[in-house]
């Protein structure tokens, strides 16, 4: 069993070979957004492989993701599966969340003045 570490939170979990990243994340209580139930149609579960290795990209991933994204380590969490080796996976922050956080920070600074 390989260990998967999820960033930015830093939570880790032992994953059995063949377990999807989304499934391992759920077991570790880490949220990877998705809408399609693991069918690679919503593309919301994109993750970045920071280190280590996962299974090779599936035919669905190759069809859905640009070749340059796969080359950069971007994978679909519903398709990418654990191996015996450890890996570190970064879950990108949603654009909406970052916009809301920036607005809250701006409002906090204005209230301090």
> CB count, 10 Å around CB of 59?
9
Structural domain range at position 17 = 2-112
Q: Residue 54 belongs to a domain with what CATH number?
A: 3.10.20.30
State yes or no: pLDDT of 26 exceeds 80: yes
Beta strands in 18-100 (DSSP E): 46-52, 74-76, 87-90
**Number of domains making up the chain:** 1
- What 3-state DSSP class applies to 90? strand
Cα–Cα distance measured from residue 71 to residue 88, given in angstroms and rounded to the nearest whole number:
16
Q: Is the pTM of this model over 0.85?
A: no
The string of pLDDT tens digits covering residues 62-90 is 998 899 988 999 999 999 999 899 999 99
Comparing 104 with 4, which gets the higher pLDDT?
4
Q: Are 86 and 53 in contact (CB under 8 A)?
A: no
User: Tokens 């599936």 appear where?
Assistant: 58
Q: According to the model, what pLDDT value does residue 96 have? A: 65
Average predicted confidence (pLDDT) for the chain: 86
């Amino acid at each position: 069993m390989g260990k998967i570490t999820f960033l930015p939170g830093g939570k880790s979990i032992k994953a059995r070979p063949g377990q999807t990243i989304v499934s391992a994340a759920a077991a570790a209580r880490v949220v990877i957004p998705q809408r399609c139930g693991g069918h690679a149609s919503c593309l919301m579960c994109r993750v970045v492989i920071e280190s280590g290795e996962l299974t090779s990209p599936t035919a669905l991933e190759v069809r859905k993701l640009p070749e340059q994204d796969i080359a950069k380590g971007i994978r679909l969490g519903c398709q990418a599966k654990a191996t015996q080796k450890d890996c570190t996976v970064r879950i990108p922050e949603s654009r909406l969340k970052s916009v809301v956080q920036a607005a809250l920070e701006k409002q906090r600074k204005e209230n301090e003045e």
